[in-house]
Structure 1
Amino acid sequence: MPVMEPTPDDVTLRAINYKSEDGKRMDGFEITGESTTFGGDETCVIFLHGLRGFALGAGITPIAYPLARRGMRCVSINKRNSGKGYETSDFAEIDRDIAGAVEWATDRGAERIVVWGRSLGATEAAYYQGKHNDPAVDAVVLAAPFADIRERSTRSYFEAVSDDPDTAYKEFVQEARDLVEEGRGTELVALPRPVDGGIEYIPMTAESFLSYRSPESKCATIDWTPKIEKPLLLVPHATDRNVTPDEAQEIANTAERSSLVEIRPIEADHFFTGTEDTVADATAEFVRRVDNL
């Protein structure tokens, strides 16, 4: 994972508290520059981090900094699945945290709201807007977006431990289902994942694993993009993992109701290391185009 740099001197970082839709007390950070307007209006970009990440993390705040300099208010939130919270969280509840962040921004005068998610956060952004079509949201950005975290990506994890990953995945899912049926859904399972030629094991409760990675999970971007009506920007990369322009095109092909769909490939790793300004430029340019619709 890239090393985080200190907050730049020309950017202000302020801790915030917000309340999720179901009343949970949450926190995050507001990131602003000297200018507070973008295109004459106050724009707020709500950032959603990826797997086991935090609000102040690689792939998020380094992109928020240049956007803040452009006059956008950026809000990066911690969610109920931040860090180790992922191990026990329920994906289906994540929209409640995003709803709370949107309410926080609107209560503070945001005239334009962009929901911006990276990796797992991209699926969360699609889930939120696809489920609710929140009129307060003006655009959605899916950065490093997986089409289907649920089955396709998870099946590939088992290549590290089995010559028959499909069967290994199905058996793992069934074992988790059995635990839930036996009233043991809060017991931990160890999800294998290939990393740098080796294997890591991600601990999750059986219930949490099923909520994110079983066939019946809601955690698939392509299940929600067909329902999104607002403009959609996809920012894939071609040099890390399988989040390629082809996968972004697959997602875009499902977004039949969106008023504008664009794909902006970036040559970068999964965290957009070293290309943060380019990603920020793509985001700002897209928001300007949204204004001209």
Structure 2
Amino acid sequence: MKTREHLGTQFITNVICAIATIVALLPFILLVLASFTDNNWASVNGFSFFPKEWSLSAYKYIAMKWGTIGHAYLMTIIVTVIGTVTSLFISVLFAYGISKQWVPGMKVVSFILIFTMLFNGGLVSTYYCYIRVWDIKDTIWALIVPNMLMNAFNIILIRNYFINSIPISLEEAARIDGAGVVRILTSIIIPLSKPIIATIGLMTALSYWNDWQNGLYYLSARGGSQYFTIQIVLNNISDDIRAIAAAATSSSAIATNVKMPSTTIRMAIAVVGIIPIIIIYPFFQRYLVKGITLGGVKE
């Protein structure tokens, strides 16, 4: 039977959670409302939860410029899918390897992994290596390889999940039955690791989807504009509203004399950019808390 103190604590907790939820939702609500606000009214009065004038001009502009914005949207999807799948593949294999501390050299590899979380070569040397050695400038790999292909923190989470949540007896039984490392990994480890893999996959996908810095560093408007993602286009718009035209990759883009809704177009593109994340997130939500909790447990 619940005591009065317990009910009071539960009520306060629910109130705090409700307030936190509202605070988190307000920016998204304002973003959507701002994208439907009349550009001239927003330019004079700013964005509001209760705009007095509404307009679809921002979305009409997006529709007319879909040759540029749609291409950026497609590139974002391609980069996110390739980057996430590749990152998960490398991270799972790496984590499985260092989870076997009895294998010679794995402790040294684990130390090197943790060392990369504390120190790195710096922006200048990293940039030089990617440009001169790997030659990724103005290629799609410029959006996939640098900085985000493998994350040490994610590998540690997966490693801890392997160690603490999957009984070693299952692997031993599989070895007795004649299963090799690849069979154990694909038939036992990965199926039992869906929560942490889904969690890391979602975090990695969000990183790729929201990334614009790699495009800023390694893509030029002249040679790499065909690889511009939606976030890069949005960032260019924030710096200079006319960058949308500069990001166009085809001279056959439809010309238009319609005045660009410079204030509200940023919000409309942001709304279009987050739609896939909003759609996908509910399917991964049930894995998120469980994966982080179990993957973060220490030995």
TM range (shorter): under 0.3
Identify the structure with bigger relative contact order (alpha carbons < 8 Å, sequence gap 6+). Answer: 2
Larger radius of gyration: 2
TM-score (norm 2): 0.26
